[in-house]
Amino acid sequence: MKATNFDHIPETLTGAIRYFGDAEKCHDFMIAMRWPDKIVCPHCGSDNIGKLVLPRRIWNCKNCRKQFTVKVGTIFEDSPLGLDKWLPATWLIVNAKNGTSSCELARSLGTTQKTAWFMLHRIRLAMQDGSIEKMKGRVEADETWIGGLARNMHKDKLHKIRGHNKVSGGQIGKTAVMGLLERNAPEKHSRVRVKVVEGTRRYDLETQVREHVEKGRK
């Protein structure tokens, strides 16, 4: 089953909003961008795919028997926002030479600033990683604390930090950082993501794993 090709990319934000305002065009654009040769199942990697089921635009994999949409396995998957918001936002961020703020993005798309910040964060991560797809397969996670020694800090600053952070003495004044490593086969590059996190509690770390790693098969 071959993917749909596309030969038109809007040149202006107005054009992008109009073009991607069509759900069918959004869907075809995502297929062509993600699967330029043929559509494959994001769960098992098989290309033995059934016909597209409308109106929900769902495929059935004949290999693993699972259903999927074009958003599954991407940074868009667990978002209630449609591609008519995500694709214009991506166009704007990629084409903004001087960068764009969440407030500017919110005004352009007609969303709240909080929603725009969430989109901006995810799209920037995808740009850094070079892919809109989440990590998958064998992914390793680890965390550490980075920063100076507490004994080198001024007494007043140390007292202030103690009052605002529930961390042990050896972690005072330090920043929690988490790293994710996707190990790939020899023919593919491994991928690494590093992110500052609130802390090293299970909730803090699992939240990041769910955001950046595709749910595994059972």
| 86 and 105 assigned to the same domain | yes
Q: Which of 84, 106, 129 is the last residue of a domain?
A: 129
What is the pLDDT at residue 187?
Answer: 56
pLDDT at site 6: 54
Q: Would you say residue 124 lies in a domain? A: yes
What mean pLDDT is predicted for residues 191-199?
A: 76
* 21 and 124, same domain (yes or no): yes
- How many Å apart are CA 132 and CA 123, to the nearest integer? 8
**23-34 and 83-95 are packed helices; what angle lies between their axes, rounded to 10 degrees?**
60
Joined tokens for residue 49: 């795919």
- State the Cα–Cα distance between residues 132 and 93, nearest whole angstrom: 14
User: What DSSP string runs through 158-198?
Assistant: HHHHHHH----GGGTT-EEEEEEEEE--TTS--EEEEEE-S
Instruction: From residue 133, give the alpha-carbon distance in Å to each of 57, 104, 144.
Output: 19, 26, 26
Among 97, 129, 161, which residue terminates a domain? 129
Does 1 fall in a domain? no
Give pLDDT, residue 216.
66
For residue 128, pLDDT beyond 90: no
Number of domains the chain contains: 2
Last residue of a domain, one of 109, 129, 149: 129
Residue-wise pLDDT tens digits, 130-162: 777 777 777 888 888 777 555 555 556 555 544
Per the structure, the complete domain to which residue 119 belongs is given by 13-129
User: Does residue 16 contact residue 87 with C-beta atoms inside 8 Å?
Assistant: yes
